[in-house]
Amino acid sequence: MKIVFMGTPDFAVPSLSMLIENGYHVAGVVTQPDRPKGRKRQLAPPPVKQAALRYHLPVLQSETLKDRDVLNQLKEWAPDLIVTAAFGQLLPPEVLQLPPLGCINVHASLLPKYRGGAPIHRAIMNGEKETGVTIMYMVEKLDAGDILTQVRVPIDDHDDVGTLHDKLSQAGAELLIQTLPRLERGEISPIPQDDALATYAPVIKREDERIDWSKPHHAVYNHIRGLRPFPVAFTTVNGQPLKVWKAIKTDQEQQNFASGTIYRLDETGIGVVCGDGVGLILTEIQPSGKKRMSAADFLRGAGAEWHIGQRLGT
């Protein structure tokens, strides 16, 4: 079986590596162009390109698969199957129709739930206890193709986007290798998705990162870990942004304070009242213009403007 692999970020690397290590013929790799990175904004190759070069695979980078040169190269590679994982582009009809075995995608959710670009973030932010990986046929509509295989992955209460990302990327790679022989032998009966059950996971925007202290403490906790380690939740203090990296839940009721109010400042961290009257302790923060640090370290040098009764988010 000759395969063309399409992917861009770290999530896709285990799938590409698993194909190579299991003896599959990867004719070429398609990924997004190099992007500026870091403070110096120097061009950096995406993780999939780096992995492909380590395996000495030909790499094609393009902003669009509709480019005639890209289409010609894909035809020259003549894949039996196209495998995508977090590629970042929809495949046009000419590409979808190219390989005899079709185009399949490794998606980080249990479809039809969480279609879209941020399924890992949204699952945690919404307090899900379980997610998974789906391998599906690709169609012109976003993440709406027939399901081939799925695997379930539990979400621990201490998981964040980083830890769950790693679990799902590895689970997806293993599921891919389990799926391909059955697909090639025609042993899988694809299952159409029920669009009525579909939910969506749109890419995280700046307004999604802001903490809403009026929500219950468990929802605020999920919001914080659902944005760590990127792009990181934030609130404001005296009009200045404050990134919140970590928090711990408590069962401490603070009914005498409005939501968003600081009710304790000590070595444990910064206690803030949430919408259900229960406190949440911020343990790692990043004030504007400063590095990430423990809340305890920050408080040792904080000025008198930090005090019990102060409101965050204003």
pLDDT of residue 38: 76
**Architecture of the 2-197 domain:** 3-Layer(aba) Sandwich (3.40)
Task: Report the alpha-carbon distance of residue 132 to residue 245 in Å, rounded.
Answer: 25
CATH 3.40.50.170 domain position(s) in the chain: 2-197
Tell me the C-alpha to C-alpha distance, in Å, between residue 175 and each of 10, 100, 129.
17, 21, 20
Q: Which pTM was predicted?
A: 0.95
Q: Across residues 150-154, what is the average pLDDT?
A: 98
Evaluate if residue 40 carries a pLDDT over 90. Answer: no
Assess contact for 273 and 250: CB atoms under 8 A: no
Is 189 annotated as contributing to ligand binding?
no
Q: Across residues 91-104, what is the average pLDDT?
A: 97
Assess contact for 51 and 17: CB atoms under 8 A: yes
The model's confidence at residue 182, banded by pLDDT at 50, 70 and 90, is: very high
Q: Which positions ≥6 away from 177 have C-beta within 8 Å?
A: 18, 19, 22
> Would you call 226 exposed, middle or buried from its count of C-beta atoms within 10 A (0-12, 13-18, 19+)?
buried
The model's confidence at residue 37, banded by pLDDT at 50, 70 and 90, is: confident
User: Per CATH, which fold does 206-311 belong to?
Assistant: Methionyl-tRNA Fmet Formyltransferase; Chain A, domain 2 (3.10.25)
pLDDT tens-place string over residues 269-288: 999 999 999 999 999 999 99
Task: Report the alpha-carbon distance of residue 261 to residue 88 in Å, rounded.
Answer: 40
| CA atoms in the 13 A half-sphere facing the CB of 225 | 24
Evaluate if residue 301 carries a pLDDT over 90. Answer: no
pLDDT tens-place string over residues 41-63: 889 999 999 999 999 999 999 99
The mean of the pLDDT values for the chain is: 96
Is 9 annotated as contributing to ligand binding?
no
Is 110 annotated as contributing to ligand binding?
yes
What is the token pair recorded at 157? 């209460």
CATH 3.10.25.10 domain position(s) in the chain: 206-311
Buried b (16+ CB within 10 A) or exposed e, 39-48: eeeeeebbbb
